[in-house]
Structure 1
């Protein structure tokens, strides 16, 4: 057994992995048993009941958390005219049309986010096989196809996160860093849950949230009491 597994085993011995804890107790367990030398992310796994009448509904949205993790991202914007000028003025790293398309096709630039104005969609459709698998294809729902370039860039720079459920109905995302104060992490999580509830599609409110698990990048997963957060 390697050192990491031994450390994790010691942590598991300090709490009941089958028990459900309130948020404060759960986050304190994670903080007291930190095992890495870097500032870990605090991650959340939210297991949803996304079925109604045997039909599966997918949750897919974005938000900017109240206490966000600002991480500098390289932003590509497909735009022309005034929109292109706005993109450059607000910090986009790469702005253009056909020339930018070729740079992406030839893998000449590195980027984290791609934004496009609606009038450029036909142009960038050919990038589907490149951007799609990376989850970077511009999307109206995620505010990356927009006429409001300024706000879209601002949200990204302010730590916007995208979230969606996987095939098992689980949303995996990050709500902060382990060095955040507890109340900030809890407020971020409650804000995320509220945002998810708005995408409920009239699913059964009493059984929509099946299970919520809190963890850190290198730590263990702890089940938390759902009613403590709703």
Structure 2
């Protein structure tokens, strides 16, 4: 049986058994984040979706106005004559066949891989390496594009991809506990609006059932999304 730490019990005691407004919820979240590092803040949307049906799948991107608080490592695969220089546009690496070969040998020390459309046939063979790590470039994720420079800048600035899991829940990091409360609220509202705007066509009945926030090591806090 899993033991609950004293720190977690103390944090959980700060959360009342009720639904919080967005502002109140963020305030409690920051109070319950007592780990010795700046924890990430997470939001979990419980949706009325069954992703085994094509018209109930949800996969989209959103740009957080205040970023994620993380240093996102971006690499790109472009044609050898692209003229792009990694250091000039904020990427860790930009390569062509050479980078494809390195990834085939196990190099995956990055968070986002962006690719030009013409390079995708050559990247296809990397599916067994990139797929399980969620790193395979995709047009839906905004990681297959002709504008490599813009895509890199967007992901470095706070663009992220999200998708519904097999249980109908979407999990998204929307900042760090040491952000200002107003910044966390802005980021969370942006994510919430994106979830609504990307509602799948096959939804039957109520789309969004519940919404919870928490810090990496903290207890969950239910948010009243009906007034957002």
TM over 0.5: yes
Deviations 1:161-194, CA, capped at 9 Å, x for gaps: 1111111111111111112222221121111111
Which structure 1 segments of 5+ residues have no match?
none
Which structure 2 segments of 5+ residues have no match?
none
| Aligned-partner Cα distance in 1 for 2:16–2:69 | 34
- Structure 1 position 96 matched with structure 2 position 123: no
Question: Structure 1 residues 164 and 180, CA, compared in 2 at 3 Å: closer, same or farther?
Answer: same
CA RMSD of aligned residues (A): 2.5
Aligned residues: 226
| Aligned-partner Cα distance in 2 for 1:92–1:16 | 44
Question: Structure 1 residues 184 and 92, CA, compared in 2 at 3 Å: closer, same or farther?
Answer: closer
| Aligned-partner Cα distance in 2 for 1:185–1:26 | 11
Aligned residue for 2:212? Answer: 213
- Tell me which stretches of 4 or more aligned residues in structure 1 moved more than 6 Å: none
Aligned residue for 1:121? Answer: 120
Equivalences for residues 219-230 of structure 1 within 5 A: 219-229=218-228
TM-score by length of 2: 0.88
Aligned residue for 2:159? Answer: 160
Aligned residue for 2:9? Answer: 9
| Aligned-partner Cα distance in 2 for 1:110–1:204 | 37
Aligned residue for 1:71? Answer: 70
TM-score by length of 1: 0.88
| Aligned-partner Cα distance in 2 for 1:51–1:2 | 30
Match of 1:86, SS?
coil
